[in-house]
Amino acid sequence: MSKGAETKSAILHHGVETAYRVGLGRLTIGELARSTGLSKSGLYAHFGSIQSLQLEVLGRAREEFTDSVIRPAVAAPRGEPRVRELFARWADRGLRRAPGCCLFVKAITEFEEQSGPVHDQLIQDHRDLYDSIAQIFRTGITEGHFRDDADPMQFAFALDGVMFAGYHWLPVYGATETEARSRRAFEALLDAVRS
């Protein structure tokens, strides 16, 4: 990776953290300049517009989530172990409030009523996640771990609901209770779909 690419990668990682803190809609080149100590003109040369910055930050957040959650889950043995790995890694990122994970929860609400490329990318990113969950779950059907009539997209819906509830419970009840309740809900979800 070239020096310029390394610099931009570091800026984007910082952009993910900043967007998580202030909101993707409030992430501006000026805000990123303040939080990184870099000049506005230097950042503008990298991104050109706020929208471009927001889209590239989303891309970086997607890469971070994929690298820390999806890829390791897919590397686990097929079936229930793979589903468990997905949950464990995703729950861990949520409990640690990892910006590249939680940014999507905040941003989808923030951009829900807006139109344009950032909104469209957020919708696509969420759809890609749900498709990934469903595909990971399908391996459990193929392996005989889950019922043949189980609906993979319904499982994705339910698992996303467990994770979303965890995001909301964490600041209210803390990590210990949130983790315990999330795990109980996940186990109940698996019990409902097992062969």
CATH of the domain at 159: 1.10.357.10
Provide the pLDDT for residue 165: 95
Q: What is the mean pLDDT of residues 105-124?
A: 92
Cα–Cα distance, 160 to 185 (Å, whole number):
11
Q: Which of 43, 37, 39, 36 is nearest to 18 (CA)?
A: 36
Provide the pLDDT for residue 102: 78
Provide the pLDDT for residue 45: 83
Provide the pLDDT for residue 101: 67
Q: Is the pLDDT of residue 99 over 80?
A: no
Q: Give DSSP secondary structure letters for 124-148.
A: HHHHHHHHHHHHHHHHHHHTTSB-T
Structure tokens belonging to residue 195: 């062969």
Q: Is the pLDDT of residue 92 over 70?
A: yes
Bridge partners, residue 146, by sequence: 194
Determine the structural domain holding residue 106 and report its residue range: 3-192
Q: Is the pLDDT of residue 191 over 80?
A: yes
Cα–Cα distance, 90 to 67 (Å, whole number):
11
Q: What is the mean pLDDT of residues 82-111?
A: 89
pTM tops 0.75? yes
Instruction: Name the domain count of the chain.
Output: 1
Interval 44-87: pLDDT, tens: 888 888 899 999 999 999 999 999 999 999 999 999 999 999 99
How far is it between the farthest Cα atoms of the chain?
59
User: Lowest mean pLDDT: which of 56-65, 103-112, 184-193?
Assistant: 103-112
Q: Give DSSP secondary structure letters for 17-72.
A: HHHHHH-GGG--HHHHHHHH---HHHHHHHHSSHHHHHHHHHHHHHHHHIIIIIHH
Beta carbons of 111 and 118 less than 8 angstroms apart: yes
